Structure 1
């Protein structure tokens, strides 16, 4: 599929929400710099399309005045939402989604770097495919490899093996994990329609779809809120994996973040499977 670099004139605004909780200051500044470049490139071909950035401070927001000045210098709106405490990832984004009046809304992690033309290609794809409500990009790692973050519906064994077993043991489950991670269809070239689950580190929505779904389920504090939202999106719109849109993700898994994250992971997994159905093996 050929994707032009200039979206149609019908695009009517973009809002972006970034939820932070004691982010790495250097990485967060890098994310904002790459976002500013991508948004500026988008604005260059969409002229007066309004751009609204919401930074939701769940705690520990570093000084981002320099980065935000770059946004404001282009005429973009920047709002810091603070004072609510650590309400969790999904509820944090919902605070921004409730305020959004844009045509498109980007849910973004504070550890993502965007290619300069990422937003141009993504929004142009939306304009060409009105049935698409959610787009996920090609997500790379620090070494330039694809992170396979589109997923089929998980089993408990899939989650345990991928999240908690050491690499030398995971090798014995490589075929199983490859299927879960959709390695048979996810690549650098082909659009994949309707992957069951996509990553919350970069979710670009039609805002109308996101509003219809009432955003993230606030009952998830952290983990699986993106699984839940992905599955619910299929009820109202199509999802597309678009490899022409490229980002780099610097994040890590729950098992590498300590026991508190493992507990939150287990709690959210229980809630997810209780809602959508248990699969053990």
Structure 2
């Protein structure tokens, strides 16, 4: 294999400064690596860092979606490395982070997917490990009033796995798509992102499929920072995209009768 790891980054009219921080974070790694940047913007993004020989840019000329764009990258490079990283264009991490994740995966061959500890840029922790969602979980989190969320606080805390000790590693069947460190053999076994999800829920779906065959683990010894824009709370078109993806997810896996969801969540 040509590289220790590869990574893919999907961009769409992103802030150049934030994007530069993400690319720089990857390029700080001493591991032999390659970064595929899939540009869904209407016009090609110009950034000097993208000229680095470790970067390869693909201009799609249209917004093909988050999962579909990552798939374009992964189909090109899955034979080139043992591990692959999904990056959001608003994450940052210190030098050495990828090396620590790489070493941990090397020591634990039963792990198919890792998520490090995540905070926002102010240092506030983000709880991005979750049990498999039921429709009510998503409905309350997205549309519930503060009063309703207070009533269902215990349920939401359970869904976000707040009952777990976030200072220690643990398994979670749903790990956030902001940063996904995959074993390539896991992707070869379960497949790539389901392109029926244009945006949102594709990370739940893929995490779940990997969890069927491998451990999917939260690993707090490595820390990343994530902007976490929550754009579906600010733009109606993204809210509708989120709703469409949620409907497709539950159509695929089951709305109120999902035996696998019940078993996985019970086991955790």
TM range (shorter): 0.7 to 0.9
The aligned counterpart of 2:9 is 18
Equivalent of 2:99 in 120, 135, 139:
120
C-alpha distance in 2, partners of 1:266/1:174? 22
Contact 1:141/1:147, CA 8 A, preserved across alignment:
yes
Equivalent of 1:36 in 18, 24, 27:
27
The alignment status of 1:105 with 2:84, answered yes or no, reads yes
Equivalent of 1:63 in 42, 46, 50:
46
The aligned counterpart of 1:132 is 111
The aligned counterpart of 1:246 is 223
Equivalent of 2:183 in 192, 198, 206:
206
* Greater CA drift, 105-114 or 228-237: 228-237
Contact 1:97/1:211, CA 8 A, preserved across alignment:
no
The aligned counterpart of 1:275 is 252
Name the Cα RMSD after superposition.
Answer: 2.1
5+ residue gaps, structure 1, are 1-9, 44-48
CA displacement at 1:12 relative to structure 2? 5.1
Contact 2:39/2:45, CA 8 A, preserved across alignment:
no
* Greater CA drift, 154-163 or 168-177: 168-177
Equivalent of 1:234 in 207, 211, 214:
211
Cα 1:61/1:11, change in 2 over 3 Å? closer
The alignment status of 1:192 with 2:138, answered yes or no, reads no
SS of the residue aligned with 1:98?
A: helix
C-alpha distance in 2, partners of 1:158/1:61? 38
The aligned counterpart of 2:67 is 90
Contact 2:50/2:56, CA 8 A, preserved across alignment:
no
Contact 2:169/2:220, CA 8 A, preserved across alignment:
yes
**TM-score, scaled to structure 1:** 0.84
* Greater CA drift, 81-90 or 161-170: 161-170
SS of the residue aligned with 1:232?
A: helix
- Aligned pairs for 1:253-264 within 5 A: 253-264=230-241
* Greater CA drift, 145-154 or 166-175: 166-175
C-alpha distance in 2, partners of 1:258/1:165? 18
C-alpha distance in 1, partners of 2:82/2:97? 17
1:27-46 deviation per Cα after TM superposition (whole angstroms, max 9, x unaligned): 11121222222x1xx33xxx
Contact 1:153/1:197, CA 8 A, preserved across alignment:
yes
The alignment status of 1:145 with 2:128, answered yes or no, reads no
Aligned residues: 254
* Greater CA drift, 238-247 or 165-174: 165-174
